[in-house]
Chains A and B, each alone.
Chain A
Amino acid sequence: MSAPTDGVVIVDYGAGNLTSVRLAVEKLGWRAIVTDEPEAVRRAERVVFPGVGAAGSAMETLRTTGLADALVEYAASGRPLAGICLGAQVIFEQSAENRARCLGILPGTVERFGVGPGFKVPHMGWNGVEFVAAHPVWAGLESGSQFYFVHSFFPVPAEPGMLIGRTDYGGAFPSAVARGNVVAFQFHPERSGRVGLAVLENFLRWRP
């Protein structure tokens, strides 16, 4: 079991507001280290990779700051990594958004919702996540729990075994993906009330 004193690095790459992620980590009793320094990521015991915004500009910032390389190296080391929202997308290889070439930490792509009329874009609000595979991040939670989403793109993992959570919005889409030491949530655990904090806490305690 991981100890709160280890600290959790929250990657700051200018993609959106990190305040609620930091506050959620602190609320759960962990020490949050919000940083934009590649070295801090390399040294980290545990990393949360959040983000809201567009894939293209996010990848540009990640590359120019050196955070892209640091994240790839960190992920390869086997230490726990959680991607949230945009962070859950750019860890894949390629995004349809801006046709961005992404980090390639997980095999797969990112596609846009092609929902019909009557469906608003972005997908915004509370929706159910079906736990299609067991995973430590789901411990103590009920499949079908509702989490808060706000996004226009979603991940498409290359291997079916990577899918751990699925949600319906004009059709099923992957809402949570995992492989090895990496887990990715399309929803916002830090904005999903009690169940969101529970998922986040499960990640913080996880020793992959």
Chain B
Amino acid sequence: MLSKRIIICLDVREGKTTKGVRFQGNVDVGDPVEMGERYCEDGVDELVFYDITASHEKRGIMIDVVRRVARTIFIPFSVGGGLRTVDDMREVLLAGAEKVSVDSGAVRNPGIIAEGARAFGSQCVVLGMQAKRVGRRPGIPSGYEVFVDGARVATGLDAVQWARRAEELGAGEICVNSIDADGTRAGYELTITRMISEAVRVPVIASGGAGEPAHLRDVLTEGKADAALIASMVHYGTHTLSEIKRYLDNAGVPVRTKW
């Protein structure tokens, strides 16, 4: 049967993996290609390389990272961060990425999802979203609002409705990052993850809040996520991938246990 996927995210700033808390801090954690290779050997199912380099002019550095990753690892990996046009996407895909991820760019220009899906296929386009619990109110029936720009700017968009719209436009996968849970290591936000997973037919990746293997168990079962994204949990060695997978396997969650 289909396994649930464990995905590791590496934030990359000017070609170096940086401290996991997005938009803050620039402490180097390591070389993204070496780290990616190690995680591959440890059994990761997929990787995400998120470009947090502030300057659009320095995009070439990230493309170089993508090329080196593609020559080294042979599992699926996506690239996100600052992708605004189909040309941006094409450059990344031709460098060897399997998928591209759009977030704020898609909120500003939803057409980018459709254009990307048309040009490369839905399976290449992942919609990332930052969702925050704001409570049910007119315009936000789910109680979760979409934020952009480092999770600071409210968009007025309902998270579940935005997920549905992105699917209609052609997104092949939705990655839901909970702003409330992110960085807490207290667990994923199960409610919004489940709501979105039940609202769309495409796979859903849960993101934000992982601190213990039990959190992944919960989001992959109760949260109905198809995949769980982790970062600081493994970057700092508090948990290893094999420990996480062994835990999930023992808990009856279908995971890839041999690689």
Q: Which residues of A contact B (CB under 8 A)?
A: 16-17, 19-20, 23-24, 27, 52-53, 120-128, 142, 145-146, 148-150, 168-169, 190-197
The stretch from B89-97, B157-165, B211-219 touching chain A is: B89-97
Report B91-135 residues with CB < 8 Å from chain A CB. Answer: 93-96, 98, 120-121, 123-124
Chain A minimum-CB-distance residue to B73: A193
- From A52, A123, A169, A196, B74 is in contact (CB under 8 Å) with A196
Asked if A150 and B2 make an inter-chain contact with CB atoms under 8 angstroms apart, the answer reads: no
With a 10 A CB-CB cut-off, give which of A16, A148, A196 has the most chain B CB atoms: A148
Asked if A52 and B121 make an inter-chain contact with CB atoms under 8 angstroms apart, the answer reads: yes
- From B71, B201, B258, A120 is in contact (CB under 8 Å) with B201
Asked if B123 and A169 make an inter-chain contact with CB atoms under 8 angstroms apart, the answer reads: no
Q: Does B251 lie at the interface of the complex (its beta carbon under 8 Å from any beta carbon of A)?
A: no
Asked if A191 and B120 make an inter-chain contact with CB atoms under 8 angstroms apart, the answer reads: no
B202 proximity list for chain A (CB < 8 A): 120-122
Complex: how many Å from CA A116 to CA B258? Answer: 28
CB distance from B99 to the nearest CB of A (A): 9
Q: Which residues of B contact A (CB under 8 A)?
A: 1-5, 40, 45, 70-71, 74-76, 93-96, 98, 120-121, 123-124, 172-173, 201-203, 226-227, 256, 258-259
Chain B minimum-CB-distance residue to A54: B121
Name the prevailing secondary structure of the B interface residues: loop
Asked if B95 and A197 make an inter-chain contact with CB atoms under 8 angstroms apart, the answer reads: no
A20-B98, A120-B226 known; A125+B45 contact, CB < 8 A: yes
- From A24, A53, A120, A127, B1 is in contact (CB under 8 Å) with A127
CB distance from B176 to the nearest CB of A (A): 14
Chain B minimum-CB-distance residue to A18: B94
Chain A minimum-CB-distance residue to B44: A193
A123 proximity list for chain B (CB < 8 A): 2
Chain B minimum-CB-distance residue to A15: B121
CB distance from A114 to the nearest CB of B (A): 13
With a 10 A CB-CB cut-off, give which of B2, B121, B173, B227 has the most chain A CB atoms: B2
What would 7 more interface pairs be, CB under 8 Å, given A27-B74, A168-B1? Answer: A16-B120, A17-B93, A123-B2, A124-B172, A124-B173, A125-B4, A127-B1
Asked if B1 and A192 make an inter-chain contact with CB atoms under 8 angstroms apart, the answer reads: no
* CB<8 Å pairs between A and B, sample of 29: A16-B120, A17-B93, A17-B94, A17-B98, A17-B124, A19-B94, A19-B95, A20-B96, A24-B74, A52-B121, A52-B123, A52-B124, A120-B226, A122-B123, A122-B172, A124-B226, A125-B203, A126-B256, A127-B1, A127-B2, A127-B3, A142-B258, A146-B258, A149-B2, A150-B123, A168-B1, A169-B1, A193-B74, A196-B74
A27-B71, A52-B121, A125-B3 known; A195+B226 contact, CB < 8 A: no
Asked if A17 and B120 make an inter-chain contact with CB atoms under 8 angstroms apart, the answer reads: yes
A191 proximity list for chain B (CB < 8 A): 74-76, 98
Asked if A195 and B259 make an inter-chain contact with CB atoms under 8 angstroms apart, the answer reads: yes
B1 proximity list for chain A (CB < 8 A): 127-128, 168-169
Complex: how many Å from CA A194 to CA B43? Answer: 10
Asked if B201 and A126 make an inter-chain contact with CB atoms under 8 angstroms apart, the answer reads: no
- From B5, B93, B227, A19 is in contact (CB under 8 Å) with B93
Chain A minimum-CB-distance residue to B95: A19
CB distance from A30 to the nearest CB of B (A): 14
CB distance from A179 to the nearest CB of B (A): 27
Chain B minimum-CB-distance residue to A190: B74
Chain A minimum-CB-distance residue to B45: A126
The 3 A-B pairs of least Cβ separation, nearest first, read: A19-B96, A126-B256, A126-B3
A194 proximity list for chain B (CB < 8 A): 259
